Amino acid sequence: MRTLIALLAIFFCSTTQAETMFAHADAKAGKALLEKHCISCHASSFGGDGSGIYTREDHKVKSAKGLVTQVRNCNTMLGLKWFDEDELNVAAYLNQTYYQFK
């Protein structure tokens, strides 16, 4: 419950959204989750190592909040049962590596 309250506070009270959202996230743990659960699907859809989903010109994600939302959507659709912290860790890794939202 505390995690949910913290996430809501982050979403609604952010001056530098990405820095605030990912301040306590573990990007290294996020990378491990991404490599274990996401790469194969992304690679089958976008070829190569799957990173094309993040670097394509018409990507869906336009903000740090949108990035967390998209990771949450994938978690739900795939039934991964990640915790909120896992979703933030993956989003932090993706932001650090590809999106670089401020």
- Domains, the chain, ranges and CATH? 2-99 (1.10.760)
Give the per-residue pLDDT at 80.
Answer: 96
The CA distance from 95 to 98, in Å, is 5
Confidence (pTM): 0.81
Query: Rounded to an integer, what distance in angstroms lies between the CA atom of residue 82 and that of residue 80?
Result: 6
Q: What is the pLDDT along the chain (102 residues), one digit of tens a residue?
A: 666 666 666 555 544 677 888 999 999 999 999 999 998 888 888 888 888 888 888 888 999 999 999 999 999 999 999 999 999 999 999 999 999 998
pLDDT of residue 68: 96
